Amino acid sequence: MQHSVRKSEAEDVAAERRKQAVVEQVMVDQLSRAVISDPEQSTRADVSKEAHGLLGLGNTPVRFRKRTLHETKIRTKSGLTESVLSNKLRFDSRIISRNGRDACRELIGFFFAYDRSLTVYEFRQFGKNRTNALPFIQRGIYQHQRGQKKGKAYDLSDFYIGANLTFRSVDHNLPESVKQNPVLTLRVISIDETAMDFLKAPSEEFKQECSEQVTNDSRVFKKIQGMLRETLSKRGVRVITGLGKYFRHIDKNRNGFLSQADFKEALKVFHLEVPEGDFESLWLILDDSKSDKVDYGEFIHAVVGEMNEYRKAFVRKAYMKLDFNKTGSIPMVDIRKCYCAKKHPLVLAGKATEEEITASFLETLGESCSNPNEVSYSEFEDYYEGLSIGIMDDDDFVNILRNPWGI
C-alpha cells in the first residue's frame, strides 16, 4: 500500500511538471518577438532591397550585412504582455474518439479572460528524456459548433469538468485521423479550480445556469437510462460491448455514424425496450444537425449513461500503460501477460481462483473484439463502461483497475 501511495504521488508530481512545461511554452509562444535578422524588421528600405537581391549583393546571408539595432523595428506579434496573459484558466482535455491514438493524446488548454480567446497544446514525449509542447488548437476566439449554444463564443461558464468544446476540423492543422470527423469534440476532464475562483470573482456576468432546453434534454436522457438500469445492472458489460461490436460491424463507411433505423434495430436485438415517443425525443436531441445520422458512441452514452471523468481517467491510464507506443490497439497476448487477478475482491474472499477470474475477463473482452487477436481503445473502454454501471462507489471501481493493471 505504501509503495502504491508513493507511486501515485510521483505520478502526480510528474503530471504537474508536464503542465508547468506547457504553461511556459505557451507564454514563450505568445510573447515571442520577431528576430532581428528578419529583413522586414528594418526601417531602412535598402536592407529590404538587399534581401531580395536588388542591390547586386546576390544571396549574401543577412548576418554579413550591416545591421544596427536602432535601425530595426523590434516588436512583438501583438500588444500582449505577461501580466495580461496571466489571467488565464488552465484545463486538461481529451478528444472524444474511438481511435485509441487520438483518445489518449495529452491535451492542455488555456482560456484567456482578457479577450475570451483559447488555445490547446499537446504534450508530447519523444523517448525517455525529450519532451515538447506543440499547439493543437491555435489561440483564437472560437464558437460552439454544436448544441444549444451553437454559434456563440466560448466564455468562462463553458469550462467545467465534463463540458464539451467543439471546433470545425477544417479550421485547424490537425492529424488526418482527427479530421475524418467534421467536428472535433474535446471533453474537459479537469480544471484549475484556484484560477477559476479567481476569474469568477470579478466577473459579474458569470452564470452557469442551465437553459430550459438543456434541462429538458437531461431529463430525457435520465428517463431512458432509468428504464434500462435494471436490465443493464445484470448484464451491463455484455450489452455495451455487444452494442459496440454490433455498431462497428454495420458501420460500412467506417465513419462512426448510423441512421435512426440502425439504432432501432440494435435496441431490438439487445432487448432494450425504449417507448417510441421517448426514442423520438432522444433522436431530436442527438441529431441536432438534422442529417438523419448520429455518432453511435454518443447514442450509447445517451441511452445507457457514461462513466464520470474520474473513472475514465483511470481507464485511459491503464490503456496507455499497455499501449506505450500509442498505436491505438493492444495485442491480446499482451493483455493476457499483464492482467493479474491476485487482488481481485472475489479472489481475496476465496469465492474464485485467479485462473477463473482471468479466464472470465479474457473471454468477455475477447468476445467484444472485432479482431480476436487485438483490443482497440474503444473495445477496452466499452468493457469498463459496462462494468462501471454496476459499481456505485468510485474508489471501488478504481481499485478494480488499479490492482490487475498495477496503475
The CATH number of domain 82-209 is 3.40.50.800: no
Backbone angles phi, psi at 375, to 5 degrees: -120, 120
Whether the per-residue pLDDT at 113 is higher than 60: the answer is: yes
Q: What pLDDT is stored for residue 79 in this prediction?
A: 58
**pLDDT tens, position by position, 276-302:** 888 888 888 888 778 888 888 888 888
- Using a pLDDT cut of 90, give the percent of the chain over it: 10
Whether the per-residue pLDDT at 208 is higher than 80: the answer is: no
Within 13 Å of residue 234, how many CA atoms lie on the same side as its CB? 4
pLDDT band at 401 (very low <50, low <70, confident <90, very high): confident
Q: What pLDDT is stored for residue 68 in this prediction?
A: 61
What are the beta bridge partners of residue 336? Answer: none
Q: What pLDDT is stored for residue 66 in this prediction?
A: 60
The CATH number of domain 213-304 is 3.90.1530.10: no
Contact (Cβ atoms closer than 8 angstroms) between residue 70 and residue 138: no
Q: What pLDDT is stored for residue 45 in this prediction?
A: 61
Q: What pLDDT is stored for residue 33 in this prediction?
A: 56
pLDDT band at 154 (very low <50, low <70, confident <90, very high): very high
Q: What pLDDT is stored for residue 19 in this prediction?
A: 81
Cβ partners under 8 Å of residue 35, min gap 6 = 41
Contact (Cβ atoms closer than 8 angstroms) between residue 331 and residue 348: no
**pLDDT tens, position by position, 183-206:** 899 999 999 888 888 887 665 454
Report d(CA 55, CA 34) in Å as an integer. 24
**pLDDT tens, position by position, 300-346:** 888 888 888 899 989 988 998 888 878 888 999 999 888 888 877 77
Break the chain into its structural domains and give their ranges.
Answer: 38-75, 82-209, 213-304, 309-405
Annotation: CATH topology of 309-405 = Recoverin; domain 1 (1.10.238)
Q: Hey, what's the cell of 224? A: 431512458
Report d(CA 311, CA 316) in Å as an integer. 9
Q: What pLDDT is stored for residue 110 in this prediction?
A: 92
Whether the per-residue pLDDT at 73 is higher than 70: the answer is: no
Report d(CA 320, CA 401) in Å as an integer. 13
Report d(CA 293, CA 224) in Å as an integer. 20
Whether the per-residue pLDDT at 145 is higher than 70: the answer is: yes
Domains 213-304 and 309-405 agree in fold: yes
Whether the per-residue pLDDT at 4 is higher than 60: the answer is: yes
Q: What pLDDT is stored for residue 284 in this prediction?
A: 86
Report d(CA 24, CA 26) in Å as an integer. 5
Within 13 Å of residue 403, how many CA atoms lie on the same side as its CB? 17
Report d(CA 307, CA 301) in Å as an integer. 9
Q: What pLDDT is stored for residue 274 in this prediction?
A: 86
**pLDDT tens, position by position, 14-64:** 777 788 888 888 888 877 655 555 666 666 665 555 555 545 555 555 555
Segment (H or E) for 133: strand 130-140
**pLDDT tens, position by position, 343-395:** 777 788 888 888 888 888 888 888 888 888 888 888 898 889 888 888 888 88
The torsion of the CA quartet 188, 193, 199, 201, rounded to 10 degrees, works out to 130
Q: Hey, what's the cell of 28? A: 514563450
Cβ partners under 8 Å of residue 207, min gap 6 = 157
pLDDT band at 167 (very low <50, low <70, confident <90, very high): very high
The whole-angstrom distance between residue 358's C-alpha and the CA centroid of its chain comes to: 30
Cβ partners under 8 Å of residue 260, min gap 6 = 283, 287, 292, 294
**pLDDT tens, position by position, 232-245:** 877 778 888 888 88
Q: What pLDDT is stored for residue 143 in this prediction?
A: 92
